[in-house]
Structure formats: structure tokens, C-alpha cells
Structure 1
Amino acid sequence: MARRLRIAHSSHGPANSPLAMALEFGYFTDRGLDVIAEEVPNTAVCVDRLATGDADIAGAPGVPILLAARDGLDAVVILSAASENVFGVIGARHIASPRDLVGGVVGTTTVHDQGYIVLHRALRDWDIDPVRDVETRELGNRGMEWKAILAGDIDAFATTIPQPILARKVGLPVLRDFMDESEPYQLGCMVTTRAFADRQPDVVHDFLDAMLDAYRVFQLDFETTLPFLRARSKVDDDDVLAETHRIFVREFDHYAPRAEALANVARDLEATLGRPLSVDVNRLVDASFLPDRGPVDEAHA
């Protein structure tokens, strides 16, 4: 009898491609898993599904996981999809420098999502007060942020690849590219609860084993990956997607979650909140459920 597994994931993001590939190619069913994947508007909702018991595993970055842990969720990150900071702060066409943002409007998916936290960090580093010097507009998802920046309805927003790559191609300024700074930073990952992982370790192990198979196909076969990458990123430009693929090939080498990457997110979140989280990031990361196999990069060395 197949073992049921409920997964919540967002509607946007190239890091979701391996999940879609594992579903399409039957990697879960091959391992006796009946995976029910629910697509939700943003990653905060993914973690909400985990907290309410409506999902067993969720795809999310560090910020919603940390906020949920602060509020009592015994969350545990079991697989990383991106553990380096690949955010960029994109400006509208009329923005020549960060100082032009003063008195303007910045966009975010939701208040206190990961992009909001990274944008606040950039604004503080530019000596711009994120509360007093700019107005923040919630737009709901990455696609709406992109439409707003192209229309000039907002002056800037922070987002991950492929949008910063696409921004340069269409002539939008990237006011800060965090990829230049080589910073461990937990972006996309798979998270469950400690209770679920302890109750069904074999299910978690088999899920991760299937995901690592999908990681390998993603890394080794761009042509097979391309339609999934296009669907998850909502981008049609193959040159942009090729560069996005190259970056994620590297990111998928580092699939074991690291406390350092989550700790750096916690630092920025605390700076935005103005108070400590009182969360032990070391307890939130557990690589022990990963299958005992060689690094993904050995597959394409």
C-alpha cells in the first residue's frame, strides 16, 4: 500500500522544478509514496499548512520557517535547494541610484516574507529607513511584483533569480546583487515537523531519495529540465533560464541543510523585527534523514 505524503509548495520559483520532475517521472511512486502536492500563492502559506497539520512537508525559505518556529512550530529543515544568497534588489527604469528610493514605493509579496527582509537589509545599508523613508506595498506574489516594476508602479523590490538576470536583459537596474557577496543564506528548502519526521522516518528518507534523483536529472539534463524550469519560474527567455539553471546546478551540490545559512537569515529577520527571535537554529536543521549517497556533484564531475 502506498504511503501518503502531503506537500505544500508555492506557485513560483525555479527551486520547485525538482519536485515537479519527481512527480512527473514517478520517482515518488517508485518508492511507494502517494504524494499529494498542493500549490499555494506564497511560501508563508506553505508553512501555515505545515503548522495546521494540512501538509507533512513544505517548500519554503528561511524567514517563514523561523517565524513559525518562534511561534512554537517544531520545524526541521531536511533538504536545501538554495543555501547561498541569490537575491537582487531590482529598481524601476527611472531609478538611477538607491538614494532615488527615498520617498518612493517599494514592493513585497507579503510583509515579513524573505524578500521584504532582504530589501530592508539593503535599505538600512544605504542609510534609508525602511519604515519612514519609503512606502511598502504588498503585491501577493512574485509575478505581481514583476508586473509592478515594469509598469513603474513601484520603485524597487527584492527577489531571487531568475528575475535579477531578466532585469538586466530588459534594462532594469539591479541596485544590489547579493550573489556578488557569496553569503550562506537559506532560501528554498524542504521543511517538516520533528513529530512527523520522528514518526515516519522511512517516508522522509524515501521522499528525500526521490528528490535527490530529481536533483541529478536537473543538473545533468538541461533539455529535460527546461520545460519544468520555464513553468516554475514563469519566464520564457531560454538564455535567462540557461543562466538560472547554471546557478541551481551549483546550489543543488549543497543539498544538506546548514545551520549557518539559516542563522544569517535569522540575523536579518531580527534586525527588521527589532527584537530577538529566541530560536535555536541548530535544532531547526537536520541532515540525518538524507540518504547515504555521494554528493550530487559527483554525478556531473
Structure 2
Amino acid sequence: MKTLYSIRLLTFLVSISLHASQANDASAERLRVGYPSPSANFYPLFATKEANLFEKYGFEPEMIYIQGVQLIAVHVAGQLDFSSVSGLVFLQASVEGSDLILLASSNDSQPMKLMVHSGISGPRDLKGKTVAVTRFGSLTDLLLRPVLKNWGLEPQKDVKLLQIGRLPDMVVAIAQKKVDGGVISFPNSLQAEKMGVKTLLDFADSGLDIPSTTVVASRKYANAHREVVLRFLKAYVEGTRRLLTDKELGIRALRKYGGVNDRELLTTTYDLFTTRYTKKVPKINPKAVETALNLLAEGNPKAKGRKAEEFMDTSFMDELETTGFIKSVWP
């Protein structure tokens, strides 16, 4: 009799547990989060997901990789809730009329390089040559065009620009001299150096503050779902702390979402991004947004005279600070 009672009790407890689990799954809010590249630029997002912090704040996250500027089109079409994307790419779309708004910014530097093969010794050697970008309108493209103009080289006239979608493919193309150069982000730039490709310009040393790792949502979504945005940013802030304080988690996140398996490369990338690029608190720097707009204005008249405040909403991060949340994460 005791055995039968124990079996019934165990069955009852298991049933309760299953119903509770199903209820929790049902209560978790589906969240579609986009990112445009497996680059370490998006390290904070990768670490947040790897640490299960979206789940902590009641989300069932779906990480969606959509290459380059196509991400913006998908987001504008309402197929994403949040995106982590370069500030230049987001602003390019917003000055054209998209509804996207900047919510947070993790990095105001550009960890990208214009890299060339051994036959190129300086900017003058690029005349009549071919330089690769990932996609026209992408960050690689938007960074390259004003640089070429400053060197007195007209894009697509003096220097041919060629689209090569994936950064690893671009590295190989330069090393094999199928193209003469390309704009490459870390950690692919480190791999390029190992293959004999050299740096012609390091954008991080340009002295320009430009938001390169941002969180954006549509203005309509942010206004209608303020509590969701706050929870998302809480997870993101905690994820940034985990990234900066937990090396093994950071390496694991980049291995999974960055597609990098080389331990030395992973360690070097982690050390560089956590000491040089990633901010402890992803607050928006209005001056960096203004600089990005000025850079865009060199090639897009619609960006001229626009104000940084038009494209950002600091109220969410401000609320996390005034309510003491930021201090609770970073005592």
C-alpha cells in the first residue's frame, strides 16, 4: 500500500512539475533579435544570450543572423523586435525615413581596418585598383568611401569597389591578390595578418568617435512596449558585465556565434574587446552620433543638418540609472 501511495505521490509531483514548466514556457515572451555579422563587434549581445540573461528577464529569444544592410530592411518590415547593428548603418536608414531609434551603444570606436596585399605600399597605389566591401551600404562601404575621397580618390572611378559578402572570403581574396584590399573587422583582421595581408588604415586610430555596436528598435515598438525594452536592456547591461568579468563565458559566446574555433584567436579577441572597445555601461554618446551623421552627410544630403537627438532615445538607459539598476550591476 505504501508503495502504491508513493508511486501516486511521485506521479502527482511530476505532473505538477510538468505543468509548472509548461506554464513558464508559455509565459516567456518571444523575442526576435537580429545581428548583421558574426563579428566580435556584437560581443555584448552574444554574451547576453550565452549567459541566459534574456531568459532571466522573461524572454524566449531567437537570435537571427541577417547579413549586412539586409538586416535593416527586415527590421523595418517588422520581422525583428531588436537589432544590434553599426550606428552608421542604422543612421543611413533613419535619415532616409526609417522608424528605427537608438536605445544603447556599447562601443564608440571602429575596430575595423583597411587592409591590402603586399603590393600596395600607400594610398596612392590604390588608384586603378579594386577594394572589397561586404555589401554596398554596409558599414565597410560607409567607412571606406569618405576615406578614399580624403585621399583624392573617387570611389568607383579611381578605385573599383567590389562586393564580397563574407569577411573570411574577403581575407582570402586579398591574400591571393584577387582584389587589392578590403575593409575587415576583428578577428578576421588578425587572421589576415597571419596570411601576410597588411594594414593600410586602422579606423580605431582615426580619432573619430562613431557608434559601432548599438541596440535599436523601431520608435513605434519602443513607445508601445516600454516595459519590454527596459527588460531587454537590463539583460543587455548584465550581459555586458558578464562579458567583461567572465573570460570563459566570453570566449564560449564568440566561439558559438562568431564561428571562431582557434583558442589563441579567441583569447586575443576577448582581451582586445574587453580592454579597448566595450563600454561597461552601454549609454549613448550624442557626440558620437553627431560625428556619424556628419560622416554620412559627406555622401548623403539627407543627413546634412540633422541632429543626434532625432535618432536616439536616452530615456530607457536613463531610467535604469535613476532607479539604481546600473549601480546594482556595477556597485
TM-score (norm 2): 0.82
Deviation, structure 1 residue 234:
3.9
Match of 2:229 in 1: 204
More divergent stretch after superposition (13-22 vs 60-69): 13-22
Aligned residues: 297
| Residues in 2 aligned to 1:229 and 1:223: alpha-carbon distance in whole angstroms | 10
Equivalent residue for 1:263, pick from 277, 282, 290: 290
Q: Could you say if the C-alpha distance between residues 144 and 25 of structure 1 is closer, same or farther in structure 2, counting changes exceeding 3 Å? A: same
Match of 2:310 in 1: 283
Match of 2:4 in 1: none
Equivalent residue for 1:230, pick from 243, 247, 255: 255
| Residues in 2 aligned to 1:169 and 1:143: alpha-carbon distance in whole angstroms | 13
Match of 2:87 in 1: 62
Counterpart amino acid of residue 78 in structure 1 = L
| Residues in 2 aligned to 1:176 and 1:283: alpha-carbon distance in whole angstroms | 31
More divergent stretch after superposition (252-261 vs 133-142): 252-261
Question: Is the Cα contact below 8 Å between 2:87 and 2:211 reproduced in 1?
Answer: yes
Q: Of Structure 1 and Structure 2, which has the larger fraction of its residues in helix?
A: 2
Instruction: After superposition, give the CA deviation of every residue in 1:48-81 in whole Å (9 maximum; x if it has no partner).
Output: 1221011111121123212221232222111213
Counterpart amino acid of residue 137 in structure 1 = L
Match of 1:33 in 2: 59
2:97 is aligned with 1:72: yes
Deviation, structure 1 residue 219:
0.7
Deviation, structure 1 residue 236:
4.1
| Residues in 1 aligned to 2:124 and 2:289: alpha-carbon distance in whole angstroms | 30
| Residues in 2 aligned to 1:80 and 1:270: alpha-carbon distance in whole angstroms | 21
Q: Determine helix, strand or coil for the equivalent of 1:144.
A: helix
Unaligned runs of 5+ in 2: 1-26
Question: Is the Cα contact below 8 Å between 1:88 and 1:159 reproduced in 2?
Answer: yes
2:73 is aligned with 1:48: yes
Match of 1:117 in 2: 142
Instruction: After superposition, give the CA deviation of every residue in 1:103-140 in whole Å (9 maximum; x if it has no partner).
Output: 11110111121111211122122222223111111112
Equivalent residue for 2:161, pick from 105, 112, 136: 136
Match of 1:87 in 2: 112
Q: Could you say if the C-alpha distance between residues 61 and 261 of structure 1 is closer, same or farther in structure 2, counting changes exceeding 3 Å? A: same
Instruction: After superposition, give the CA deviation of every residue in 1:17-71 in whole Å (9 maximum; x if it has no partner).
Output: 33233333321122111222211122x1221122101111112112321222123
Instruction: After superposition, give the CA deviation of every residue in 1:164-211 in whole Å (9 maximum; x if it has no partner).
Output: 344334432100112223321111211001111111111111111111
Match of 1:272 in 2: 299
Deviation, structure 1 residue 289:
1.2
Q: Could you say if the C-alpha distance between residues 94 and 231 of structure 1 is closer, same or farther in structure 2, counting changes exceeding 3 Å? A: farther
Larger Rg, first or second structure (1 or 2) = 2
2:32 is aligned with 1:6: yes
More divergent stretch after superposition (17-26 vs 203-212): 17-26
TM-score (norm 1): 0.89
Identity over aligned pairs, percent: 23
Question: Is the Cα contact below 8 Å between 1:84 and 1:261 reproduced in 2?
Answer: no
| Residues in 1 aligned to 2:292 and 2:257: alpha-carbon distance in whole angstroms | 24
| Residues in 1 aligned to 2:204 and 2:88: alpha-carbon distance in whole angstroms | 18
Q: Could you say if the C-alpha distance between residues 295 and 93 of structure 1 is closer, same or farther in structure 2, counting changes exceeding 3 Å? A: farther
More divergent stretch after superposition (73-82 vs 101-110): 73-82
Q: Could you say if the C-alpha distance between residues 248 and 143 of structure 1 is closer, same or farther in structure 2, counting changes exceeding 3 Å? A: same
Match of 2:279 in 1: 252
| Residues in 2 aligned to 1:288 and 1:166: alpha-carbon distance in whole angstroms | 40
| Residues in 1 aligned to 2:58 and 2:51: alpha-carbon distance in whole angstroms | 14
Question: Is the Cα contact below 8 Å between 1:253 and 1:295 reproduced in 2?
Answer: no
Unaligned runs of 5+ in 1: none
